[in-house]
Amino acid sequence: MLIVWTETLRKYPVFSFISRKGRKPFRIPGTDTVIEMGTPVFVPVHAIHHDPRYYPDPERFDPDRFTAEEVAKRPPEAYLPFGIGPRMCLGECSIYCQLHFFLLMCD
């Protein structure tokens, strides 16, 4: 059941993008572009979740994308419904606890 929930959040993420500010100058690999400290950076969550490089046929609802074998084929940054790193959504643990409780109540 958890893979159904995970696929739902992939197709319909809570946030379309995540915004951050550069903490230090960063050169984008393969380019001359430098993101300076304090520059706003927007991560397009919806676009990443619908990128066929990570999710073939991305418009199709397919919970099997989140079996352990399939998840191991993708970088962790390819799934960002709650963000990533130290500033990720604090509600992630809470929502999964509530989901498990709900599923137990429905049994």
Amino acid code (one letter) for 59: E
For residues 46-82, b (16+ Cβ closer than 10 Å) or e, as one string?
eebbeeeebbeebeeebbebbeeeeeeeeeeeebbbb
- Residues at the binding site for heme are 89
Binding residues: 89
d(CA 9, CA 87): 19
